[in-house]
Amino acid sequence: MLLLLVTFTPIVAAILIMIGFPARLTALAASLLTLLISAIIVLRFNALSGFQFVVIFPISSEMLLNFALGVDGLSLLMILLGAIVLVAAVWFTGEIEHHENAFYACLLFIGGGAIGAFASLNLFFFYAFHELALIPTFLLIGIWGTGNRRAAAWKVTIYLALGSIILLVGLIMLYHAVPASARSLDLRILQAGQIPSSLQSSIYLVLLIGFGILISLVPFHTWAPEAYASAPAPAAMLHAGVLKKFGLYGLLRLALPLLPDGAREWSGMLLVLLLGNIIYIGLVTIAQRRLDWMLGYSSVMHMGYIFLGIASANILGTTGAAILMFAHGLSIALLFGLTGEIRKRVPSLDLDAMGGLAKAMPLAAFAFGLGIFSAIGLPGFANFAAEIMIVFGAFRNGFDYQHFHIFQWATLLALWGVVISAVYMLRAYRRTFFGSSAESDLVKSDIPSGFRVPIALLVVVSLLLGFFPQIAVNRLMPTFRNYFSATE
Amino acid sequence: MSKTPWLILLAPLVSAALITLVTRPARRLSAFISVVAVLLSFFCSCIVFARPEISALEIPWIEFHGILRVPIGFILDPLSKTMLVLVSGVGALIHIYSLGYMRDDPGKSRYFASLSLFMFSMLGIVLANNFVMMFVFWELVGLCSYLLIGHWFERDSAADAAKKAFITNRIGDFGFMLGILLVWGATGSVVFDEIVPQLWRVTSNPTFLTICVLLIFCGAVGKSAQFPLHVWLPDAMEGPTPISALIHAATMVAAGVYMLVRVGFLVQASPVALAVIAWIGTITAVMAALIAIQQDDIKRILAYSTLSQLGYMVMAVGLASGEAAMFHLFTHAFFKALLFLGAGSVLVALHHEQNIWKMGGQGRNLFLTFVTFGIGMLALIGCPPFAGFFSKDAILSLAYNRNPAIFGLALFTAFLTAFYMMRLFVVVFFGKPRSPAAKTSRESPTSMLVPLAVLALLSLLGGFNFFATHFLTLPHERDVGDVAAFVPGVALVAMLLGVAGAIILYRSRIEEPLSINLLRRKFYFDELYRALINATQEFLARVSGFIDRWIIDATVVRGSSGATWSFGALLRLMQVGNLQAYAFIFGLGIIWIIYFAIFR
């Protein structure tokens, strides 16, 4: 019941707004309600058992189609992320010049769709909810975006639609590869089935490309920075923070348990690609001259670490990956939200032209500082705890004294990425907020003091998991222990 | 089990949180909270120090059974206990000094919040019982250093210096983390007590061991600003002077040395790594001392002197004597904090004029500062009976016994130290005032002078044996072996030569008589690194940026990829001119496809 509420509160609210309810008020109330319900789910969640709060509505037994929702530790974390970022995104939405109702409705559809995808136990709805969330994203960029928004909207639409279709092909292949006895759309039943080794390789590759496009895995990443630079801030917050995690969630939920041999076979290639995300995109990020593009690329880069956790295919790495998905969602949402506020106040986000904003915008500077330091993995934030697990997990894979194997080399390069991320983040922070510039003297107002609430929400949760990561680890353990029970 | 150790750690954290969240607008209250917190830490540290049986509860931070266990637990042995008292004690003095120094600063609350956060992080390093926890606090002191160097963020130089410090430290931490991973990979644990019984797994392979130790040493190279990562420390002087005293002289930069001593069980096992460490220390000591003789900024001279003294400590670690290194760390904390605070007192009197050639004659105007600074200087140059004499002597004797080449260079550094310090002293405190501000300078407020007096006393007494063994349970010169009066003798000669040289050269000068460009420009390290970064990182970044924009994006996505194009064209046929309609059709289409693929 709670899961139905948490999924449909934003969707129902979106419909109500479309038919004329006051947009901001309804959206804010609905998102806060969603957060409240997900908090209740978190508190009542039993860390020791598997899927909980299951609700099933049979639609067609012949077609195996059920509308089924349920959560385990992994989906719990993602639903909570969705609810938190939804509140923050709605709160950060300022004056909308035209079609205010539609704007808020789109945000709520993204939030509800993402939460629904994470809560779905049925493969069909897992996919459909994601599509439901994806479409409003295109609209937000195309209608309310900035800069060259049409081009950006088309690019992201074509790209992600392509990704979705490849993903669909992969899912269909997966479905047909499961032995007939275990064939089901129910994720729980599906996971019990053994897919023959010979089929795993090709299915994994298709899924990796499909999900990879959605997650901006190199070289399928070029849609991301442009889209995030053009998107209105709340849309960027929700997409980079939450919706993009759908692909990673799918890899963890489907590809890893169902296709372990395929994952092993392609792990070398995946390592190369994810190092592309970390090192190559890291360097590209350094070369950026605009704040919004820098952040867009940085979010692409950090996907590399989550991929590293997934690629390491052990309980340490995957747990770290799940926590980093959560932590990165919080930090990137904060950074995009604040960038949107800065955009309203300065003529351009060119890093060379900005400077000294800390004087006029002390609250924004403080919050942005928290954002960048969590993003670059400072201890105390959940990002650090997650990265520690990922790095240890990846390093452990095939370690021996005499030689470094690919995983050890990959870990080494990934650690260098930590230096790279400090370089671009601190440089951007310094250029934006420190020193002085003619532009900054024109800025008269800080962000509204009411924004302390969403900022505190994003930061406090990250700090909580940073200080006590075991809270998340204990809840993720039952899920991932099943995956690796044979090897660990 | 006792709660006191936790109180030591958490009092400053609570203070930092309280100031940031609640008392920020009330600047005096914020300062008060911060001072109370550090005094509480100091008090509890003394309790812990006095009670040998004390132990603390360990709580799990990350726990994967049988794979990785990272607790938050405390190590309470003589080494950490004395370090606790030192850090919280010097910290408390500098908090009190800051009350005067930062009295009218608009960012006073922010300053004290960062200072409290620093105390928390630094005490965490001291207490950490495992590698990962040490790394956590290690990074956090880096953050505090960043915040405090950049305290006056409107100044470009301060903002740049803060960034440089953080990034340089991260480069060192890259190696540190890799070293931790290697040790964990081999022994299966990151907890010091659990590594020791498994240590044979590392030591059985000498090459592996050497790599481990050198990587861990990288962390110390960054944090303790050793060659070649020393470039951030002189720039860090952009921060307020009490910060230079506490973080960039007495405590944080010494964390690298403390860490090497803490993991001595590992470091001491590899002769090759020890040799590298000793030589890095020696190079740093000589190089920094050479640069110091040609600097004009009072704080930068002291910063290079800090580098040089840290070089001595690292040298001692490399010569396999953690005791000698820690001894010098302690005495150095006293007299270098004293020197910086004395310099701060001069700066306040001269309205923040930092060029020593614009000073002169301050001995008369600032008498108490003059006397305490003099004590600090004598301790630094190793004049008996001040603290620095004993600790430096310990290191010199060690070098004499173990490595004659290093001994020679260490002795040369002692000569240079005496020379540049006496130069500073003569130019600042003697002669005639050389600027209007210098003529009318007045002594600083009491809150600044009391810490000076206390530190002067400690610099005077800190080296004596009774003080070292009974009060601080300091390691003394027991393992150095018996050395004839030869070593202290030549050290004294070197010192006297330096002092005499400086007095002859600089007495009643009004401008620099020597000009050695190589030293003035600090061996061109900054220029070299700038060029290196331009040739590697910036170049690669630009190339990658170009590839991403003009090759991957333009060609692969827009150009040759026929699939994308035809797909796009298809969509264009379908779409009726606006995105909304398209999106709707798209959604329907997907559902239709699923329906067909699965259910039919």
Q: What is the mean pLDDT of residues A27-34?
A: 95
Mean pLDDT of B379-392: 88
Please write the tens of the pLDDT for every residue from B287-298.
999 999 999 999
Task: Say how far apart CA A137 and CA A140 lie, in whole Å.
Answer: 5
CA–CA dist A13, A30 (Å, integer): 6
pLDDT of B34 higher than 90: yes
Q: Give the CA distances from residue B450 to residues B94, B96, B349, B350, in Å, rounded to whole numbers and listed in that order.
A: 10, 9, 16, 20
- Residue B282 CA, distance from chain mean position: 18
Confidence at residue A151, expressed as pLDDT on a 0 to 100 scale:
81
Of A84-98, A401-415, B32-46, minimum mean pLDDT range: A401-415
Element (H, E) at B278: helix B271-292
Look at B170 and A419 and tell me if their CB atoms are within 8 Å. Answer: yes
Does the distance separating the beta carbons of B584 and A415 come in below 8 Å?
Answer: no
Mean pLDDT of B274-285: 95
Nearest chain A CA: its distance from B528 CA (Å): 18
Facing residue for B587 by CB, picked from A131, A158, A402:
A131
Tell me the average pLDDT across A384-412: 89
C-alpha to C-alpha distance for B23 and A50, rounded to whole angstroms: 45
Reduced 3-state DSSP string for A319-368: HHHHHHHHHHHHHHHHHHHHHHHHHHHCCCCECCCCCCHHHHCHHHHHHH
d(CA B530, CA B538): 10
Among A131, A132, A150, A484, the residue to mutate for chain B (most B Cβ within 10 A):
A131
Tell whether the model's pLDDT for residue B477 goes beyond 60.
no
pTM confidence score: 0.92
Inter-CA distances, B339 with A426, B122, B241, B335, Å: 32, 21, 10, 6
Which of chain B's residues have a Cβ under 8 Å away from the Cβ of A384? 136, 139
Task: Pick the residue from chain B with its C-alpha nearest to A221.
Answer: B553
Dump pLDDT digits (tens) for B216-229. 999 999 999 998 99
A289-343: pLDDT as tens digits:
999 999 999 999 999 999 999 999 899 999 999 999 999 999 999 999 999 999 9
Query: pLDDT-derived band of residue A187, with 50, 70 and 90 as boundaries?
Result: confident
| Amino acid present at A228 | Y
Pairing between β-strand A52-60 and β-strand A65-71 as defined by DSSP bridges: antiparallel
The A residues from 341 to 400 touching B (CB cutoff 8 Å) are 356, 358-359, 373, 378-380, 384-385, 388-389, 391-392, 395-396, 399
Does residue A281 carry a pLDDT above 90?
Answer: yes
**CA of B330: how far to CAs of A79, B184, B225, B305, B476, in Å?**
52, 31, 18, 16, 12
Residue A100, pLDDT > 50, answer yes
Name the residue ranges covered by the structural domains of chain A: 266-488
Nearest-CA distance A411 → chain B (Å): 9
User: Do B597 and A172 count as a contact with CB atoms less than 8 A apart?
Assistant: yes
Interchain CB distance below 8 Å, B159 and A143: no
Question: CB-CB: which of B150, B537, B552 is closest to A222?
Answer: B552
Each residue's pLDDT tens digit, B559-588: 444 445 555 555 555 444 455 555 666 666
Minimum mean pLDDT range among A411-415, B469-473, B511-515: B469-473
Band (B278; pLDDT cuts 50, 70, 90): very high
CA dihedral A354, A356, A357, A361 (to 10 degrees): 180
Question: How close, in Å, is residue A412 to chain B by CA atoms?
Answer: 7
C-beta of residue B28 within 8 angstroms of C-beta of residue B100: no
Q: Output Rg (C-alpha) for chain A, integer angstroms.
A: 21
Compare all CA atoms of chain B with the CA of A62 and give the residue at the minimum distance: B599
Residue B146's closest chain A neighbor by CA? A426
Nearest to B227 by CA among B302, B305, B167, B279: B279
Q: Burial, A323: exposed, middle or buried (Cβ in 10 Å; 0-12, 13-18, 19+)?
A: buried
Indicate yes or no: CB of B541 within 8 angstroms of CB of A286.
Answer: yes
The answer, yes or no, to whether residue A73 has pLDDT greater than 60, is yes
pLDDT over 60 at B315, yes or no? yes
Q: Whole-number mean pLDDT of chain B?
A: 86
3-state helix, strand, coil in chain A (%, to 5): 75, 5, 20
Average of per-residue pLDDT across B467-485:
51
Nearest CB among B178, B553, B594 relative to A168 is that of B594
Q: Do B564 and A359 touch (CB under 8 A)?
A: no
Going by pLDDT thresholds of 50, 70 and 90, the confidence category of residue A178 is confident
B283: distance to nearest CA of chain A, Å? Answer: 26
Asked if pLDDT for residue A389 goes beyond 80, the answer is yes
Q: Residues for chain A: how many in total? A: 488
* Chain B partners within 8 Å of A430 (Cβ): 159-160, 162-163
Q: ∠A115-A119-A124 over CA atoms, to 5°?
A: 100
Reported as a single tens digit per residue, the pLDDT across B174-214 is 999 999 999 999 998 999 999 999 888 888 889 999 999 99
Tokens standing for residue B510: 């009004």
Query: Contact at 8 Å (CB) between B249 and B337?
Result: yes
Q: What is the mean pLDDT of chain A?
A: 90
Mean pLDDT of B427-431: 88
> How many other C-beta atoms are found inside a 10 Å radius of the C-beta of residue B208?
19
- The closest alpha carbon to A336, from A379, A284, A294, A285, belongs to A294
- What are residue A290's DSSP bridge partners? A350
- Inspect the interface and report whether the beta carbons of B171 and A135 lie closer than 8 Å: no
Kind and range of the H or E element at A66?
A: strand A65-71
Cβ–Cβ under 8 Å, residues B233 and B306: yes
What one-letter code names the amino acid at B123? Answer: L
Per-residue confidence (pLDDT) for residue B556, from 0 to 100:
58
Q: Which residues of A touch B143 (CB under 8 A)?
A: 373, 378
Beta-carbon contacts of B571 under 8 Å, excluding residues fewer than 6 positions away, are: A157, A158, A161, B582
Neighbours of A429 (CB within 10 A): 23
How far does CA B475 lie from the centroid of its chain?
23
Whether the bond between B488 and the residue before it is cis, its omega within 30 degrees of 0, is no
- Chain A residues with CB under 8 Å of B125 CB are none
A487 vs B446 pLDDT, higher one = B446
What does the alpha-carbon distance between residue B203 and residue A119 come to, in Å, rounded to a whole number?
Answer: 50
The arithmetic mean of pLDDT across residues B38-49, rounded, is 93
**What digits encode the pLDDT tens for the residues A228-277?**
999 999 999 999 999 999 999 999 999 988 898 898 889 999 999 999 99
